[in-house]
Chains A and B, each alone.
Chain A
Amino acid sequence: MNVKDNQFYTNEHEWVSIEGSKARIGITDYAQHSLGDITFIELPEIGKKIEQFKQFATVESVKAASDVYAPLTGIVVEVNATLVNQPELLNSSPYEEGWFAVIEIDNIEESNKLMDASAYKKYIEEIAH
């Protein structure tokens, strides 16, 4: 299972990559794998405030509908409109083309509650057993 370096992870399998005062958010390769073929994605509106560990998006696959939780608190400044029309991008490229949203970070200290890549790697190995 692919885990990308230099970004943070939640135990609900979201990733967040810090880009200055902003952060790009998505779900991990492990998450897209367990969900199966993605059929529908609902993203928040631009300008909406999302809160750390609270639901901010929904993903549906052939197996199930799942909530996606915000890894950090912030205001949504950009959403990936292409992803809504081509949900399969989430399966093929969860870390690049399959990003969900960019937020203006409220409080960077919150990232202390997240895992780094090596901790997340360990975490998904543990839940696999």
Chain B
Amino acid sequence: MRLIFEKGAFGRRGFKIPKKDVPIDAKFPQKYKRVKEPDLPQVSELDVVRHYTNLSRMNFSVDTNFYPLGSCTMKYNPKFTEKIAALPGFTDVHPLLPQLGGGGILTQGSLEVIYKTEEFLSEITGMSGFTMQPLAGAHGELTGAMIIASFHKFNGNRRKYIIVPDSSHGTNPASAAIAGYEVIVIPTDENGCMDIDKFKEKLTQDVAGVMLTCPNTLGLFNSSIKEIADLAHSVGALMYYDGANLNAIIGKSRPGDIGFDIVHLNLHKTFSTPHGGGGPGSGPVGVNEELLKFLPIPRIAKRVDGTFALDYSYKDSIGYIAPFYGNFSVILKAYAYMVYLGKSGLIDVAEKAVLNANYCRVLLKKYFEVPYGRICMHEFVLSASKQKENGVSALDIAKYLIDNGVHPPTIYFPLSVVEAMMIEPTETESKKTLDNFVELMIEAAKLAQDSPSTLHDAPKNMPVGRLDETKAARDLNLRWHSKKE
């Protein structure tokens, strides 16, 4: 497909800028003035509409295709939440309004949504309070790590390390490092969970916190979790729960009851708000009673008369971590989702997510290596190691799936599994969709035996064939240059 720059014709316009009818101060410093005309596409409105509509049709999305991208939880985003988030009563509120004199009373609805979402999440996770401010999961992790740091500083006891198992969510080590900690990575044992002996070895008075993803990235629930929490607490370290995989246990088990002190959730995973192609995420952070005072300001307070207000009176707070109150429309969508599903609906989410993953796992274990074969939670990891013996890699299988209308699973992650394929069907898929996926995977396993070259040549039905990923990474060419240059 041609770029929009290569479409259109010289002088073609989709928009006419009206003549200015107000005097403009022309004393704009010369050095800031453009010397050359900007090289913009010269296209009509219809050119633009066709270009982007066609681009969007080439896209893979959960609205068009099955999308079992493990770890990411690409579940369907119900459309009614969009409708609610578009209500003018919410979209027309200026974020500064509740901070202005008399503005609080005009923003009660929005403040109540944030307050109630915090309440819901506290109930679901067993925590004492939440901040809705973090703008993405990793931002939530950083907020959590900063709370860990504030807690130890408050107790006059700065610590040096954060422990992260290698089966944790991929962003954990980076978040801990950005917060100023040195990261100790603990390997996975033969059961697919953190090696508890190695953990004990590394756990000292210098460890500030332990970041765990449970169920972990292999889709496995760590049954020693209580023991790990007790060990960590015995040396004064805090337990951090990465809620990336809460989808699997929502309504079944609460991190707060297991012994976690800090929790972050990904609203775009568990509560089905969109994964906006790098767009707005939301990573609220919950804490236990003792850590409430460190949460970012402003917090939302409920007054005795039942009205809501911004509360800045937390002197030990870690301060501001986001402009205003987080991605409000995302919070609103998650709130609507929770109200709509209710308690029984949310429990059903966890049950179906786990059932769907295990259904696929059991049907596929004859054909692929399953490194940790026990009952999984919401996702499972296969290895293409058997297929690799015939020269077929996880990447080849991924490309074959794309060709057949299925988004590939996450491949080559977690790193602890060779030729890993991480599959997360999510709860919203029907048995028919799952059966179709399983059939395709079995077909791929057969082709790996009988005709490896078919897989090497995939994809064939896509707008582009097999791309040279190495060249793309080594030899970046991100800018279009017109022929005149």
Contacts and interface: CB of A to CB of B under 8 A. Distances in A.
Contacts of B413: 64
B412 interface: yes
Contacts of A40: 473
B144 to A, nearest CB: 23
Contacts of A60: 473
A18 B474 CA distance: 32
Given A39-B474, A87-B474, A88-B474, A66 B415 contact: yes
Contacts of A37: 469-470, 473
Contact of B470 (A34, A62, A66): A62
A62 B418 contact: no
Nearest to B393: A36
B412 A64 contact: yes
Contacts of B470: 37, 39, 62
Interface string B403-433: 0000000011101001000000000000000
Main secondary structure of the interface of A (DSSP, over half): mixed
A62 B466 CA distance: 14
Given A39-B474, A87-B474, A88-B474, A62 B469 contact: yes
Nearest to A66: B415
B474 A63 contact: no
Interface in A3-39: 34, 37, 39
Nearest to B414: A64
A37 B413 CA distance: 16
Contacts of A87: 474
Contacts of A88: 474
Nearest to A88: B474
A60 B474 CA distance: 10
A39 B412 contact: no
Contacts of B415: 64, 66
A39 B473 CA distance: 6
Instruction: Identify the interface centre among A34, A60, A63: most chain B CB within 10 Å of its CB.
Output: A63
Contacts of A34: 418
A87 to B, nearest CB: 7
A14 to B, nearest CB: 16
Contacts of B474: 39, 87-88
A37 B412 CA distance: 13
Interface string A95-111: 00000000000000000
B473 A63 contact: no
Contacts of B418: 34
Contacts of B469: 37, 62
Nearest to A91: B470
A56 to B, nearest CB: 14
A66 B411 CA distance: 15
Instruction: Identify the interface centre among A34, A62, A64, A66: most chain B CB within 10 Å of its CB.
Output: A62
Interface string A36-67: 01011000000000000000000010111010
Nearest to A86: B474
Nearest to A128: B418
A111 B415 CA distance: 27
A63 B384 CA distance: 15
B183 to A, nearest CB: 9
A62 B412 CA distance: 10
Contacts of A62: 469-470, 473
A82 B412 CA distance: 28
Nearest to B411: A63
Nearest to A40: B473
A34 B469 CA distance: 16
B32 to A, nearest CB: 36
Interface in B448-472: 469-470
A119 B67 CA distance: 44
A39 B471 CA distance: 8
A82 B177 CA distance: 29
A62 B470 CA distance: 6
Nearest to B185: A67
Interface in B171-225: none
20 contacts: A34-B418, A37-B469, A37-B470, A37-B473, A39-B470, A39-B473, A39-B474, A40-B473, A60-B473, A62-B469, A62-B470, A62-B473, A63-B411, A63-B412, A64-B412, A64-B413, A64-B415, A66-B415, A87-B474, A88-B474
> What 6 pairs between A and B have smallest CB-CB spacing?
A39-B473, A37-B470, A63-B412, A62-B469, A39-B474, A62-B470
Given A39-B473, A39-B474, A62-B469, 17 more contacts: A34-B418, A37-B469, A37-B470, A37-B473, A39-B470, A40-B473, A60-B473, A62-B470, A62-B473, A63-B411, A63-B412, A64-B412, A64-B413, A64-B415, A66-B415, A87-B474, A88-B474
